[in-house]
Structure 1
Amino acid sequence: MKILQVTAALEQGGVERGTVEMAAFIVLQGAESFVASQGGRLVVELDKGGTKHLTLPLARRNPFAILSSAYQLRKLILDEKINLVHARSRAPAWAAYIACRLTGIPFVTTFHGTHRIQNRMKKFYNSIMTRGQRVIAISQFIKNHILDNYGIDETLIDIAPRGFDPDRIDPQKVTAVKLQQLKEHWGLVDDLPVIALPGRLTRWKGQTLFLQALAQIQELKWQAVIIGGAGHKRAFLDELRNLATSSGIESRVFFVGDQADIVPFYALADVVVSASTEPEAFGRVAVEAQAMGKPIIASAHGGALETVRDGETGWLFKNNDAEDLAAKLRLALAPDTDLTKIGMAARTFVENEYTVEKMCAAEWASYQRILADA
């Protein structure tokens, strides 16, 4: 069997990581794995895992570029005798859909996000992610979104929740020496609780909300770490720094930028926050934090409603409500709150429900359903 996955690029993010993880799983099943994208830092991982990568300008949304990519994919499908094509993002999906129609090869999609529906043209553009012979949703939230907005047959939708890699995200693999080095490097104080907020610096990830909540709990003992790169949004980073300063908490908030390996920062934290003001399609931070044995405080919408057990593995707070987030932080930092016990429950929960192996097995099952009908 030969499986081709197509995506825009392979730099970073949940879509890209899922592509690489599935590629490795395909190889383990004894099949041949191919990925087409415009490239990126994760191509090295594909090469190491035995997947063949083909560089195509699949991130381009211009209709002529999509058509050109479609004919290049058609040639690839025929030359390599591909059995199934799996598309993970919209522009590449349109190219792959055309190529599959030209070659008669089965086509499956994964719906990774809600994709804003601003008008009919945008909805039509998004709809490519529902045109697979089977559609894989990354959460029940996304399945509901598809049904509410695109009206496809529910029996054609499979759910394959994202997952964490137990070999990569393991509390036992972060040494005390590593943690001490991080504390010294960033000037963190020993024996002072650390609150971490991972996520790229963009407004909807909730960094502003987080700082507003921290400003309300100044009388408590804590220090906060905001993990995420600003990229071209230096103005937003400056805005956040100014907010911390105007709130009187600038000496307690550390902006550590983008981190190639976030695992040690999870280990460093006593509690992790996901404050997204728009619903996460799944939300890897919530699962990864719990996998590291850390309680999670997350916005009560989107994927977090599935991945966080409120009061058991962490807490949910009212979306975009800094006061409620502050209340949950107070609860987490209260003397009688056993964060270690909650973290252990969190680790057990996600180990049972949200691993990469479970995710890949669910996607593989979708492949089998399609090929059985081919």
Structure 2
Amino acid sequence: MRNYKTILLATMSFDIGGVETHVLELATGLRQLGYTPIVASNGGVYVAELKKRGIQHIKLPLHDKNPKNILDSYILFKKVIEKEQIDIVHAHARIPAFTLGLLHKTMKFPFVTSVHAPFSTSPIYRLNSNWGQASIAVSQDLKQYLIDNYKINPQNIFVTINGINPETFRKDLDTHSIEETFHIDTSKTIIGHISRLDRERSLVAQQLLDLASDLYAQQPNTQIVIVGDGADFEYIQTKANHINKQLSTNYIVMAGASTKVNQFLALTDIFVGVSRAALEAMCAKCPTIIAGNEGYIGIFDHTKLTTAMESNFTCRGEIMSNPQILLQDILSLIDLPDKIVLGEYNRSIVLKNYSIQKMTLDNIKLYDKVWAQL
């Protein structure tokens, strides 16, 4: 039996988001180990980074459930799999998993999926879900979600992590270009937030705007920087502009989508967010408040480690975030005398538990399982 080499990684888009950066780092890790990863998506700002790393990207209309796009993707996937002689197909989102699941019935390629978040379990979504021959979840609670809601055999579900590159996310990066472009004043305490700004993910960005005037009144030597784009961006930007006008200062910076996430984190003094973005911030030695649409853990320290790791830093199952508690935690961190110590601790947790090497090898074990079934 020959060994496999070419792996197709399919996701919806390649803009700012945890899934996209996960796929970027997985593809990089696979390439470093001698495999040939090919990424398929509807494109986005991170495509240039893929090409810079020598990884092929193929644009397919995988970004929505439009029947025409699904049909076009089905036809294009078939051509790609045949032309590129794909050995393993790995879907990282529900839409590409559905389309590839249909194609798998006739082409019989080794087919796996990643579970990055829980999806709706309504009957129509259950019917349209395809989890492949085996799946890999980015946290233990997501594995249990698959078992409970889709009755998948636990032996066919692996668990991995979000691998973070410590050379990419460091505190000692040159940030002058983004400081000048976005008028960020690093003499102030920078409150950073990075997320895709759509309905499922923009809650905390909006809460930062809700508390901005109170934070400025109590701590005028601060500035809020929000990085990301999405369906809610225009609304949030309009609201930020209104607040800036009221305060007569460039207090809230809306940076939009950017591939310079590591530079934004390098100049961030306090980060607010969840999941992969929170881990990247921790790797850059940022004191971090874990808060998102699914819940609120608060200031990350050794007392929150187990809770945060159980849900992959997403806050699933925790109390909901609100502007009042968020404001109090931001003020507490501003006054904290040993923020450097906390930042060092945060980076040590990422280095110990969230390496790209471990994430890549976990996925290879998944590929080995389905390849052995040929």
Residue 325 to residue 84, structure 1, CA distance change in 2 (3 Å): same
Q: Please name the residue that 2:346 is paired with.
A: 346
Matches within 5 A, 1:162-181: 162-172=162-172, 174-175=173-174, 178=175
Deviation at residue 52 of structure 1 after TM alignment: 3.6
Matches within 5 A, 1:308-323: 308-309=300-301, 318-323=319-324
2:24 matches 1:27: no
Give distance in 2, aligned partners of 1:306 and 1:324. 8
SS at match of 1:171: coil
SS at match of 2:158: strand
Matches within 5 A, 1:264-275: 264-274=263-273
Deviation at residue 112 of structure 1 after TM alignment: 2.0
SS at match of 2:372: helix
For residues 246-280 of structure 1, the C-alpha deviation after alignment (integer angstroms, 9 at most, x for no partner) is 6xx56372224223312232222221112xxxxx6
Deviation at residue 310 of structure 1 after TM alignment: 5.5
Q: Please name the residue that 1:277 is paired with.
A: none
Deviation at residue 351 of structure 1 after TM alignment: 1.0
Give distance in 2, aligned partners of 1:312 and 1:19. 27
Residue 183 to residue 67, structure 1, CA distance change in 2 (3 Å): closer
Q: Please name the residue that 1:138 is paired with.
A: 138
Give distance in 1, aligned partners of 2:16 and 2:79. 28
Alpha carbons 1:186, 1:254 under 8 Å: kept? no
For residues 308-358 of structure 1, the C-alpha deviation after alignment (integer angstroms, 9 at most, x for no partner) is 445578999952222222221232122x53100000000101111123222
Q: Please name the residue that 1:81 is paired with.
A: 85
Give distance in 1, aligned partners of 2:96 and 2:58. 13
For structure 2, the 5+ residue unaligned runs are none
2:126 matches 1:123: yes
Q: Please name the residue that 2:277 is paired with.
A: 285
2:194 matches 1:198: yes
Give distance in 2, aligned partners of 1:63 and 1:187. 44
Deviation at residue 86 of structure 1 after TM alignment: 0.6
| Greater Cα shift, 17-26 or 341-350 | 17-26
* TM superposition score normalised by structure 1: 0.81
| Higher RCO, 1 vs 2 (CA within 8 Å, ≥6 residues apart) | 2
Q: Please name the residue that 2:259 is paired with.
A: 260
Residue 243 to residue 252, structure 1, CA distance change in 2 (3 Å): closer
CA RMSD of the aligned region, Å? 3.4
Give distance in 2, aligned partners of 1:180 and 1:52. 28
Deviation at residue 25 of structure 1 after TM alignment: 2.3
Residue 32 to residue 199, structure 1, CA distance change in 2 (3 Å): closer
SS at match of 1:225: strand
Identity between Structure 1 and Structure 2 (%): 25
Residue 303 to residue 365, structure 1, CA distance change in 2 (3 Å): farther
Task: Give 1:287's aligned amino acid.
Answer: L
Query: Among 151, 160, 183, which residue is 1:186 paired with?
Result: 183
Give distance in 2, aligned partners of 1:56 and 1:181. 31
Residue 35 to residue 229, structure 1, CA distance change in 2 (3 Å): closer
Q: Please name the residue that 1:367 is paired with.
A: 367
2:210 matches 1:207: no
Alpha carbons 1:202, 1:236 under 8 Å: kept? no
SS at match of 1:373: coil
Deviation at residue 210 of structure 1 after TM alignment: 2.0
Deviation at residue 211 of structure 1 after TM alignment: 3.3
Query: Among 53, 56, 60, which residue is 2:60 paired with?
Result: 56
Deviation at residue 109 of structure 1 after TM alignment: 0.4
Matches within 5 A, 1:7-26: 7-26=11-30
Q: Please name the residue that 1:219 is paired with.
A: 218
Q: Please name the residue that 2:101 is paired with.
A: 97
* TM superposition score normalised by structure 2: 0.81
Give distance in 2, aligned partners of 1:132 and 1:340. 45
| Greater Cα shift, 133-142 or 197-206 | 197-206
Residue 167 to residue 230, structure 1, CA distance change in 2 (3 Å): closer
Deviation at residue 41 of structure 1 after TM alignment: 4.0
Give distance in 2, aligned partners of 1:30 and 1:348. 29
2:329 matches 1:328: yes
Aligned residues: 356
Alpha carbons 2:190, 2:225 under 8 Å: kept? no
Residue 141 to residue 337, structure 1, CA distance change in 2 (3 Å): farther
